[in-house]
Chains A and B, each alone.
Chain A
């Protein structure tokens, strides 16, 4: 069965600093990868996704993630964070041919400070 590991439960960072949220997955077959964001007292929203093609994917608000098949990673990065980026971020995976079962990591709380 596939699994997703987010090693950092909390990441504090100062505004305008860069940030990386780590995500590793375990699967021997091809996967779809996602990052979702959850703001307080809300449901999850898709931030970006990798389905195929270019291994670097970007979101509209400056986040990017790179699919690295050899390292089975899909780390999320932003070169300069803003206070409004404070939220919880979840990495998720779907194993192709696995019935579209969407499996999440345990989440990383990003706290941006002034």
Chain B
């Protein structure tokens, strides 16, 4: 895998608690993305980042926040987890313009009970 580590890989949490997922890259790629994957919906973009401290919302950003204080780390926070946020979360990285292939992490399976 292209130097992407997601942690944790599995997590069970209770409704109403905050949860933070971490994506760490060693490729020095400019763009980082968070997606959620749900049956019948494919991958939906939650947030993405185009540089340190530069982030933007995706199509399903409600209930999620992100931070990128370093090039290598992109954190996804569920501010108050709900059962509808039970999903598999994928981080992806991309060098950006000129070579726009995205590389994906192995995913984090989050269950909110």
B101 touches A49 (CB 8 A): yes
Shortest beta-carbon distance, B41 to chain A, in Å?
6
A104 touches B44 (CB 8 A): yes
For residues 16 through 34 of chain B, which have their beta carbon under 8 Å from a beta carbon of chain A?
31, 33
For residues 37 through 86 of chain A, which have their beta carbon under 8 Å from a beta carbon of chain B?
42-46, 49, 51
A100 touches B90 (CB 8 A): no
- Which secondary structure dominates where chain B touches chain A? strand
Query: Does A94 sit at the interface, judged by CB under 8 A?
Result: yes
| A55 and B97 alpha carbons, distance in the complex (Å) | 20
Q: Which residues of A contact B40 (CB under 8 A)?
A: 9, 106
Shortest beta-carbon distance, A22 to chain B, in Å?
14
Q: Which residues of A contact B102 (CB under 8 A)?
A: 34, 44, 46, 102
Which A residues lie at the B interface, using CB under 8 A?
A: 1, 6, 9, 32, 34, 36, 42-46, 49, 51, 90, 94, 99-107
A43 touches B106 (CB 8 A): yes
A90 touches B42 (CB 8 A): yes
A102 touches B42 (CB 8 A): no
A43 touches B35 (CB 8 A): no
Q: Which residues of A contact B45 (CB under 8 A)?
A: 101-104
Q: Which residues of B contact A105 (CB under 8 A)?
A: 42
